[in-house]
Amino acid sequence: DVKVTQSSRYLVKRTGEKVFLECVQDMDHENMFWYRQDPGLGLRLIYFSYDVKMKEKGDIPEGYSVSREKKERFSLILESASTNQTSMYLCASPSNGGETQYFGPGTRLLVL
Amino acid sequence: AQSVTQLDSQVPVFEEAPVELRCNYSSSVSVYLFWYVQYPNQGLQLLLKYLSGSTLVKGINGFEAEFNKSQTSFHLRKPSVHISDTAEYFCAVSDLKAAGNKLTFGGGTRVLVKP
């Protein structure tokens, strides 16, 4: 079974803290994505990576950065967390042809 | 850039009645189309997908969707809903000409099935 795992299911952080969200996939996929999910807005793409050390901005990259040092791991970084970054964060990793998308269970982040 | 519109944010429906959830997207050139369901406090689950071939796609739990290239639509239907179909439904499009096979999602449709 393909698995996409995320380091935490729930996180509570304070404004200004640096936050790391980690995602790991075990199927040697090239592409990995970070989305955030908010009520009424669906899932919006923050960043994606199509290879090690390669990254591209998605639709809402402001306030975020990413790191992909190894193929299986894609990290989302909030340099200085703000309350408007309270959200559900989902990692995804599609099969290399794009026919199947695999999602992690999500991390629910609360920034106080 | 690809955009996806789910025309109804909420759809109340009585048990055993049919339901249709509408989805339109901006570009029909080389796309894969998906419908996902998210039950309360759970992750995303794939309902069905269109990659190629027959425009009528059947998925899990009695759902089906029809790809209409001329209208750039991918509406989801179920002829008779159950209480357990209460969930949020997301339409998503993968533009094969865009880098990375990224998905663009609609805003979601909440389905509330009433007894």
Model confidence over A70-91: pLDDT tens digits? 999 999 999 999 999 999 999 9
Q: Considering only the C-alpha atoms of chain B, give the largest distance between any 2 of them, rounded to a whole number of Å.
A: 45
Query: Residue B40: pLDDT above 90?
Result: no
CB contact, 8 Å: A35 with chain B? Answer: yes
Query: Residue A95: pLDDT above 90?
Result: no
Tell if the CB–CB gap between B102 and A58 is shorter than 8 Å. Answer: yes
The pLDDT of residue A2 = 61
Nearest-CA residue of chain A relative to B110?
A40
Strands B64-68 and B73-78: antiparallel
- Mean pLDDT along residues B75-101: 90
Q: In whole angstroms, what is the distance from residue B45 CA to residue A105 CA?
A: 10
What integer best gives the mean pLDDT of chain A? 93
B18: confidence class by pLDDT, cuts 50, 70, 90: very high
User: Tell me: the pLDDT tens digits for A12-45?
Assistant: 999 999 999 999 999 888 999 999 999 888 899 9
Tell if the CB–CB gap between A98 and B108 is shorter than 8 Å. Answer: no
Query: Residue B101: pLDDT above 80?
Result: no
The pLDDT of residue B73 = 94
Query: Residue A107: pLDDT above 80?
Result: yes
The pLDDT of residue A1 = 66
Under 8 Å between Cβ of A29 and A52: no
Separation in Å, CA of B27 to nearest CA in chain A: 17
If you compute the radius of gyration of chain A from its CA atoms, what whole number of angstroms results? 13
Strands B103-105 and B4-6: unpaired
Q: Count how many pairs of residues, chain A against chain B, have C-beta atoms within 8 Å.
A: 63
The pLDDT of residue B97 = 73
- Mean pLDDT along residues B91-100: 81
CB contact, 8 Å: A42 with chain B? Answer: yes
Q: If you search the block for the tokens 């919006």, which residue do you land on?
A: A44
Query: Residue B28: pLDDT above 70?
Result: no
Which residues of A fall within a CB distance of 8 Å from B108?
40, 42
Tell if the CB–CB gap between A42 and B103 is shorter than 8 Å. Answer: no
What integer best gives the mean pLDDT of chain B? 92
Nearest to B26 by CA among B82, B97, B104: B104
B30: confidence class by pLDDT, cuts 50, 70, 90: confident
CB contact, 8 Å: B59 with chain A? Answer: no
Out of B32, B90, B101, closest to residue A43 by CB: B90
For testing contact with chain B, the best of A52, A60, A102, A103 (most B CBs within 10 A):
A103
Q: Which chain B residues in 79-98 lie under 8 Å from chain A, judged by CB atoms?
A: 90, 92, 94, 96
